[in-house]
Amino acid sequence: MPLLQNHNVWGPRVDGDFVPAAPEVLLKEGRFKAVDIIAGVNSHEGAAWAGDFFLSPDDLSNFNKNFANLALVTLELRQQENNPLGMARAAFDFYLDQDESVAQHHVDKVIQ
C-alpha cells in the first residue's frame, strides 16, 4: 500500500478572500501584511494523511488488518506516548461511531 507517498506540495491557494491573488502578484504590488508566520487548518485536511486508505478495497482491508501499526503512523502517535494504540482507537471510535473497522462510507468523516 502506498503509505503517505503522495508528496504533497504545501502552499497558498488563491481563494478570493484570504488570499485574493497569486502570492507573487501580491508581493509585487505590496498588498501584504508584514508578519513572521501564517498558520492554520482547513476542512478536509485529513485527505493528506488518510486518503490513501480509501483508494481501493484492498487498501482499506489492509488498513483494518494492520490497524495497530498503521493508525499510529497515520495519527503520528509515538510509542513513548501513554497508550498510543488506545489513543488511536479512541480517535477512530469518536469519528467513526465506534464501528469495528473503517469502511468506504467513513471517507468523509476520516478526511475532515
Mean pLDDT of the chain: 77
| In the block, residue with C-alpha cell 494504540 | 85
The beta strands (E) that lie in the chain are given as: none
Condensed to tens digits (0 to 9), the pLDDT of residues 44-64 reads 666 666 667 777 888 888 877
Contacts with 40 (C-beta within 8 Å, 6 or more apart), sequence order: none
Give the tens place of pLDDT for each residue, 14-43. Answer: 888 888 999 999 999 999 988 998 777 777
Check whether 96 has a pLDDT greater than 80: no
The verdict on pTM exceeding 0.85 is no
Q: What is the pLDDT of residue 1?
A: 47
